[in-house]
Structure 1
Amino acid sequence: MSQQQYIKDVCCSSLPNTSEYHKIRAALYRQSYLIFQKLHQKSTPITVNQAAKEYDDTLNEQIELVEQYYHELALNKERQEYLKLSAIWQLCKIVYFSDQKDDIEALIKWYNRINSSLYYEYDRQAIFNHPDGPLEHPSFWPFAIRMTLLGRIDQLSALLKHTLPDVSFSRNSDILPYIIALNDITIDFPLNKEKLSAIMANLQASKRFSPKIDYHAQQLLAVLAILSGDEMITLEHTQDDIHAYICCRFYQSAVGSFTDFTARHPSSSNQNSFSSLLPPQNVLRSIIAGDIYQAIEECVHYDWWLLAHLTDLLSMNQMIDRDINIPVRQDTVSVPVKSHFILYYASTLKNQFGLWKQAYSYMFECGELGRQAVIEHMSNMDLNVDDNALTEVVDFCNHHSLESTGVELYKRKAAMCMEAKDYKKALYYYRTSKQHQYIDTVFYEMIWHLAMTGEWSDISSLSPERYDGIYYTIYKHLHNLHNHIERSELKEAAHEFRALVESDSVPNHIMAIVIWEGLALVRDLDASQLTAADILRIKSQWQKLNKLSPAQDFKLLYFYNNQDKLNVPERNGDLENVLKYQKQDFLDTTGVWFSRALEKTDS
């Protein structure tokens, strides 16, 4: 029961507050599905790493689309959402789905990309063009340290090259050799660590003759320490442990894992200076630390596009294998991590974006649980759609071994058509689904509809080769009988009449209508050319009704004859009395005409 309830809960999945973003989000979801499809196709699927890259590209395209599409208020909210998703996805791509293990260069580029304001905080042109030389600008060293922290050795080198020829160095001759030495080192990367250590040692041992020189020396030592991978100095100059760790790893591979790093510097994990435009640090910390399940838990507040595709890739790489316990009413149900997020995400695609085919394809990658979710969705499908749309769904069922589900959809649609008195459509759906046992009941309902409304349904377009049930045959002959009588074609009408009264398959309550309708032929034997044998056959059917049929068998005839279809006795007792009268009136009226007809045929 818990699993059934879980499936029901899944199928109600939706995203809150998506009205503004409905159309544009669908673009991301459609494109992502194509990648998902390529990843899971049986023949020549793409690799997990390639899929991760393509998902990343799709996210970037989505951000560009958002910027083009939305007005300012919605733009900010939606753009921020996808910038955060992009930051998380790119980090996952580097840590979990990279062809190059421990790609620290990619990691520092990622950090710089999501924190681009750090690069632009200082006015580079103002520093370079300071009238007294770059070194005299108050932001010279903060800029140099910042570029070092961001791994932008190219910018540090450019700064030093621009500074060295400046005349201001005549006033800073004590520090000049060390800056020249640093400039020489920054020309090549990786840095020469031996030379770097030597510069630091010499600078630390040097004498400083003024506070200004001492300030320059301390700042230069900070740059050298960061370049050496000094963790404490790096932490002092960064605003969070993630940046510090990436920077230290960039310059010193022996730093180890992020977990080891934070264990050495526990207080650093309390830093939380990230912008509101970026994902919370707990998310990024978990990913960098390789704590996959914690990372998944931290990401549940985002669009589940992220978790659906992330857990799918992790599962394919055999990096996650746990089930999670999901509360269901007063119980819990155990579900594979990947399946849980894909099922909920897929249901959202179907429920809010109308992407049912994509949604069901996602679900089919979740084993039997996904199959049950598809069936549950289809059992609740709104069938107020056109024929082509429903046929497309049923074809999908047949293609995915859900033939019985497709049949049920057609049966439900046929039942809806029956309620709407759209009998031709009901016949179409029963025939298409090969539910031949229901077809004749449609014609039975058509007979009742005729009695209740006086409306005939044109069945001339229906092929007799396809329909051979008793109620089809009755309705066809009864309809033809009525039409011929209306056109005073009594001889042709008699042919249809004989077919009905000579049949042993016509139920008594319908035979009453047949006989009543045929009175026009009995009254005019010359035109109808009914014989004595015909009259005796009719009289035999009349006698059977007289002896065997209760008053209830004349209910159909009562409605058939009643001109005011809405004026029907509501109480059972009243209706019973009316039906008794209807029976007697039928027997009296028809009996008289049969007697006259027999007298006429005998004379």
Structure 2
Amino acid sequence: MSGVFTLKPPLVQKPEDLLAAGQSLSATPSPLDNSLAVFTTPASSSQSARRPPDEEQPVYFAGSDAVPSYERRLFITDTLVIFAAFQNLLKTSRSKDPEWIHNERNLTVMRKLAIDYVNFIKECWIHASQPAPRPDGPLQYSADHYRSLYTCFSLFVVLYLPEPGYEEAPVGEELMEWLNIHFIEPSTEEGDHLSSLKNPWEDETFWPYLTRATLRGLSKASVFFLKMLSGHPSEDLQHLAETMASIISSQPRLQNFTAERDFAYASRRWKDKVKALRVEMEQVLEADRFDDFDNWWDRFSDIVGILEGRAEIVQRVCEELGADWKEVCAAWGVFVDARFRRQDIPDVVDRILDEMPPDPTNVEDMVHTALFTGKAVDALAHASQLDRWLAAHLADIMEPLSLISVDSQDEIPVRDLHVLAYAEYLHSDPALWRITVDYMFSCGDVGKERGDEVLVRVPLRLNDKSATAPVEGEGRIRAGNVVGVLKDVNQTCFDYQREGARRTICRIAAQTLVHEKNYGLAVSYCSSAEDWQGLGRIVDRVLDEYITSGPARFAQYASDIAPSLQNLNIRHPSSSAVFVHRLMFAVRYSNFQQLRIKHELQSAALDLVAMFRDDVVPKSWWAVTLYDAVELLQYRSALLFSAAGAAELLAKLEEIFVRTSQGSGGDYLDILARTIAGGGYKEALDRLKTVRLALARYFARSAVLSI
């Protein structure tokens, strides 16, 4: 993350004040979102030592993006549905046909999804336009902001996503329709005002209104006010207005023709009628071209010039009416060149812009300019300034249409650059992690790596007991179903085949569960992550419970990991053998302790000998396990061990003494020594001597009873 952050209130008034105090400014990125923690630190270690330990230091949390509010979240989450549908279309279509983009059905679906974006933006604009007070709180983005998104996205659809089969069709009427929808002129209020007048031509706004209505192709409004001129004192104007009304109402529309050739022929015939009207106008005497308020002939001539398609008149009239280059371009396609096509637009617009440049301070207008002139990369750059949402979703559609480069020399293609920028904005809200990774994972290897980093840092909330009761939650997880956030994260990893991230998340979950002493679930997640070293550490933690908490608590904890033992043997028979062996000891040793606690001593004795015979007991635990046998050896009511079993114990005991005398006592005595408060190897050997004594007495009793 890069950029300049302005802290409010400022941490220091002047940078030199910070230097004079021997301090520097440090920042740490948040692992949760895209914010920074900013704080002062000593410029040197010696100054750090002189700082009082209890001195408070302010910490500022700075971010380049405001966390999306309620209304913005709705916009983000609802448009994700369209984005996901578009990604699915690309995935399925590309897998079936390398030339999928030329398939009419695919283009139809793309156009529909783009129109879905437009319609949803429109709904948001209408919603944001509702008067205050608002039940969902103040708006984060104004209604005008959504209006700008609406104009830009709908223009993109008009220019670059025509209906299949109409790519080469004239586009003037579509441009005019777009202009009339988004930039309404003349206003309804002006029309209502003029229609209420008895002699509307006496109002100074009459001719500008009639000219604008004609320019915009609003034939009904134009004809209505032309017919009102039947009451004008000039009989010439009355006649001319009647003729013009007939001409305007009969102007050919492309949508009314099944073949472009027929439309072109009708347009030429219609232009002949306009020429005839011009001839008729020229016959009006100069003295008769005025009324008491204006030069009606000049005003009327401008309208006829528009109908004639005279480019210089169209542009001059637009300038006089306060219109911009967009209106000239739309009128060009309706009046100047009836066969005006999409590929003709950039050349015409460039010519218009020489005389009527766009407003460089208006980002919306700059997006329009770039789209009209066919500069897709520039359009995305300006769209990013307006809203990164707009740039991301335009780029997402532009790439398959080959409007932007796919095989970019840059590390990140243009499309991915804008989608990742939008995803970074989403990352300002940790709660939107699902949506964030949806966008990131659509962006090649770089996006997948970033998505993994987000996933592994999602708070799993394993300690949150509010969602489900502990027993229910643990039971569901043991059954193979994780719950809550962890379930969602795992599912996301599966959906996008992010196995590495999934294993990391399982390891993180296991570490958290170990901290909570939920060893059974921790083993399950280590197994899922195939983290065998982590599994070994968990088993060591469980065995440590014997030392720190005693046999009863150890047996309780170890019993929780027992169900995982069988699954490990089935799913990972070889790769985890060493760690499973250690896990097996923990489980069997806990069973032995439970038998002792329940006073099922005969079974406990058999289990103890079986552990040694099966070579389950690690050498480091021989001494502890043998010391546990003292109680069983001293049992008065019966002999619990067979002669062979007692001999097995004696052999293990003698090996410990021999190896200890040879300097390898640490391999056998460390754990037993840890069970003795303040004890060492000497104390551990003393305890083993009691085992030797108990065995000697056991053999003596056995010999006596056998006589």
Normalising by structure 1, what TM-score? 0.81
**In 1, Cα distance between equivalents of 2:603 and 2:419:** 66
Between the aligned partners of 1:183 and 1:349, the Cα distance in structure 2 is 55
Determine which of 659, 669, 684 is the counterpart of 1:583.
Answer: 684
Q: Which residue of 2 aligns with 1:336?
A: 413
Task: Provide the rounded CA distance (Å) in 2 between the counterparts of 1:273 and 1:396.
Answer: 42
Q: 2:357 aligns with which of 261, 266, 269?
A: 269
Distance 1:280 1:23, change over 3 A: closer
The verdict on how the C-alpha distance between 1:17 and 1:215 changes in structure 2, with shifts beyond 3 A counting, is farther
Shift in Å at residue 429 of structure 1? Answer: 2.3
Cα shift readout 1:141-183 (whole Å, capped 9, x = no counterpart): 122122123221221111112331x3xx2x3345333323322
Q: Alignment partner for residue 117 of structure 2, among 49, 55, 58? A: 55
Superposed displacement of residue 424, structure 1: 0.7
Q: How far has the Cα of 1:243 moved from its partner? A: 1.6
One-letter amino acid matched to 2:683? Q
User: Does the alignment pair 1:89 with 2:138?
Assistant: no
Whether 2:161 is the aligned partner of 1:111: answer: no
Comparing 433-442 with 364-373, greater Cα deviation is found at 433-442
Q: Which amino acid aligns with 1:193?
A: K
CA apart distance, 1:312:
2.4
Counterpart amino acid of residue 300 in structure 2? L
The code of the aligned residue for 2:546 comes to L
- Secondary structure at 1:547's aligned position in 2? helix
After superposition, the CA RMSD in angstroms is 3.7
Instruction: Give the structure 2 partner of residue 315 of structure 1.
Output: 399
Residues 596 and 604 of structure 2 are in contact (CA less than 8 Å); yes or no, is this contact kept in structure 1?
yes
**Does residue 1:150 correspond to 2:216, yes or no?**
yes
1:452 to 538, 548, 560: 548
Q: 1:197 to 1:265 in 2, by over 3 A?
A: farther
- Paired letter, 1:309: H
Q: Deviations over 1:184-213 (max 9, x none)?
A: 322211473334344445545622255636
* Conservation of the 8 A alpha-carbon contact between 1:157 and 1:186: yes
Alignment map for 1:438-477 (pairs within 5 Å): 442-454=538-550, 455-456=553-554, 457=557, 459=559, 462=563, 465-466=566-567, 469-477=580-588
Paired amino acid for 1:283: V
Aligned residue number for residue 229 of structure 2: 163
In structure 2, how many angstroms separate the alpha carbons of the residues matched to 1:265 and 1:411? 60
Question: Residue 123 of structure 1 corresponds to which residue in structure 2?
Answer: 190
Distance 1:130 1:211, change over 3 A: closer
Whole-Å Cα distance in 2 between the matches of residues 296 and 19 of structure 1?
A: 25
Q: Tell me, yes or no, if the aligned pair for 2:441 and 2:447 is still in contact at 8 Å.
A: yes
| Residues 1:271 and 1:30: Cα distance change in structure 2 (over 3 Å) | closer
Mean CA deviation greater in 288-297 or 383-392: 383-392
In structure 1, the residue matched to 2:422 is: 345
TM-score (structure 2 length as normaliser): 0.70
**Superposition map of 1:137-536 within 5 A:** 137-164=203-230, 166=231, 169=232, 171-190=233-252, 192-200=270-278, 202-203=280-281, 206-208=285-287, 212=292, 214-229=294-309, 230=313, 231-253=315-337, 257-263=345-351, 266-269=354-357, 280-321=364-405, 333-346=410-423, 352=429, 362-363=439-440, 365-384=442-461, 387-388=482-483, 390-391=486-487, 393-394=489-490, 397-398=493-494, 400-432=496-528, 442-454=538-550, 455-456=553-554, 457=557, 459=559, 462=563, 465-466=566-567, 469-531=580-642, 533-536=644-647
The alignment partner of 1:335 has SS state of coil
CA contact (8 A) 1:532 1:602 kept: no
Q: 1:377 to 1:126 in 2, by over 3 A?
A: closer
Q: Distance in 1 between matches of 2:88 and 2:543?
A: 54
- Name the count of aligned residue pairs: 564
Taking a change above 3 Å as real, the CA distance of residues 265 and 544 of structure 1, as seen in their structure-2 partners, is closer
CA deviations over 1:300-320 (Å, ceiling 9, x no partner): 123333222222222212222
- One of 16, 20, 24 as aligned partner of 2:74: 24
Q: 1:359 to 1:518 in 2, by over 3 A?
A: same
Q: Return closer, same or farther for 1:302/1:561 CA change in 2, 3 Å cut-off.
A: farther
Structure 2, unmatched stretches of 5+, are: 1-29, 36-63, 94-104, 253-266, 463-476, 570-579
Does the CA-based 8 Å contact 2:68-2:140 persist in structure 1? no
Q: Following TM superposition, by how much is the alpha carbon of 1:248 offset from its aligned partner in structure 2, in angstroms?
A: 3.1
2:588–2:611 CA contact under 8 A, matched in 1: yes
- Residues 670 and 681, structure 2, Cα contact 8 Å, conserved in 1: no
Structure 2: how far apart are the matches of 1:56 and 1:86? 6
Query: Does the CA-based 8 Å contact 1:427-1:442 persist in structure 2?
Result: yes
> What's the secondary structure of 2:402's corresponding residue?
coil
Deviation at 1:78, TM superposition (A): 4.0
Give SS of 1:301's match. Answer: helix
Shift of residue 51, structure 1, vs aligned partner: 2.8
Identity of aligned residues (%): 18
1:487-535 C-alpha deviation (Å, 9 max, x unpaired): 3332222222222344544223312221222221122254453355544
- Offset, 1:595: 4.1
Q: Match of 1:427, as an amino acid?
A: V
1:471–1:31 CA distance, 2 compared to 1 (3 A): closer
For residues 431-490 of structure 1, the C-alpha deviation after alignment (integer angstroms, 9 at most, x for no partner) is 445667865664343112332233221527627744664334433343233233333332
- CA–CA distance in structure 1, aligned partners of residues 278 and 196 of structure 2: 28
* Unmatched 5+ stretches in structure 1: 1-7, 326-332, 563-574
Whether the 8 Å contact between 1:122 and 1:139 is mirrored in structure 2 is no
Closer, same or farther: CA 235–183 of 1 in aligned 2, 3 Å: same
Q: CA deviation at 1:251?
A: 1.3
Distance 2:374 2:287 in 1: 46
Letter in 2 for 1:36: F
Q: Residue 414 of structure 1 contacts residue 429 of structure 1 at CA under 8 Å; is this kept in 2?
A: yes
> Quick one: distance in 2 between partners of 1:458 and 1:464?
11
Cα distance in 1 between the residues matched to 2:327 and 2:240: 27
Determine which structure has greater relative contact order: mean sequence separation of CA pairs < 8 Å that are 6+ residues apart, divided by chain length. 1
Once the two structures are superposed, what CA deviation does each residue of 1:286-333 show, in whole Å capped at 9, x if it has no partner? Answer: 1112222211111112333322222222221222226668xxxxxxx5
